[in-house]
């Protein structure tokens, strides 16, 4: 897989923004991507050294509407720990 297809977008939330103090950045990734592919994609796109990758699969919520229930899509997230000397600028 190409680096641009592995990483869909960075996740900008209150919790992930607090993690940037500890050199951790969160990304939404392709559900088929492995930790090694995620590591290579981040290193090539952002020119940083990656120390570790943690992944999680977030099952889609069920939203109830007037006309019935809809399940949102399942999303895979990756939290990447970057070397202390490197930094990823998202804003």
Q: Which domain holds residue 75?
A: 3-82
The enclosing domain of 47 has a CATH number of: 3.30.70.330
pLDDT reported for residue 7: 95
In a domain, residue 88? The reply is: no
In a domain, residue 65? The reply is: yes
In a domain, residue 9? The reply is: yes
What total of structural domains would you count in the chain? 1
In a domain, residue 87? The reply is: no
One-letter-per-residue 3-state SS of the chain: CCHHHHEEEECCCHHHHHHHHHCEEEEEECCCCCHHHHHHHHHHHHCCCEEEEEEEEECCCEEEECCEEEECCCEEEEEEEECCCCCCCCC
Render pLDDT for 14-50 as a digit per residue (tens, 0 to 9): 988 888 889 999 999 999 999 999 999 999 999 999 9
């Amino acid at each position: 897989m190409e680096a641009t297809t592995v990483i869909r977008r960075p996740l900008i939330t209150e919790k992930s923004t607090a993690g940037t103090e500890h050199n951790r950045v969160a990304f939404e990734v392709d559900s088929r991507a492995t930790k090694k592919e995620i590591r290579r994609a981040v290193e090539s796109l952002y020119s940083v050294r990656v120390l570790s990758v943690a992944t999680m699969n977030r099952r889609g919520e069920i939203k109830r509407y007037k006309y019935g229930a809809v399940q949102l899509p399942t999303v895979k997230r990756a939290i990447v720990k970057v070397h202390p000397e490197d930094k990823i600028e998202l804003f």
